[in-house]
Amino acid sequence: MRLLNRTILILAISFLVPLSAYADSWSCRLGNDVREVHMEQTTSAPLPCQVLYKKLTEGVEDQVLWTAQNDAAYCEFKAKGFVEKLESWGWTCVETIREETAVQ
């Protein structure tokens, strides 16, 4: 019975999350500071892409760390590597799900 309830819960949650949602952003905390790393596309296609770094609590402008025109895996590789680096510096990062948006 528990398995059935868990399966129903998982299915219900999956219908609540928009089909355009994806998990390619991270929210990182250290003390009171919050930073975010996002992989973004300028169109609905996987390329071009960019890795955006936001220092939300520090009053600093967003930074584009990397961009790619030819290799869709490049942004993911760089973003995940940067999150690992933040974690090695003591930041606690969690993957977040957000709705897909095109970069302006």
Residues 11-48: pLDDT tens digits? 444 444 333 344 589 999 999 999 999 998 877 788 89
Mean pLDDT throughout 50-65?
95
Mean pLDDT for all residues in the chain: 79
- Asked whether residue 8 carries a pLDDT value surpassing 90, the answer given is no
Q: 3 is written with which tokens?
A: 């398995």
| H or E segment to which residue 68 belongs | strand 63-68
At residue 71's C-alpha, the angle toward residues 65 and 76, to 5°, is 50
Q: 13 is written with which tokens?
A: 């949650």
**Ranges 6-10, 18-22, 55-59, most confident:** 55-59
pTM of the model: 0.70
- Asked whether residue 6 carries a pLDDT value surpassing 70, the answer given is no
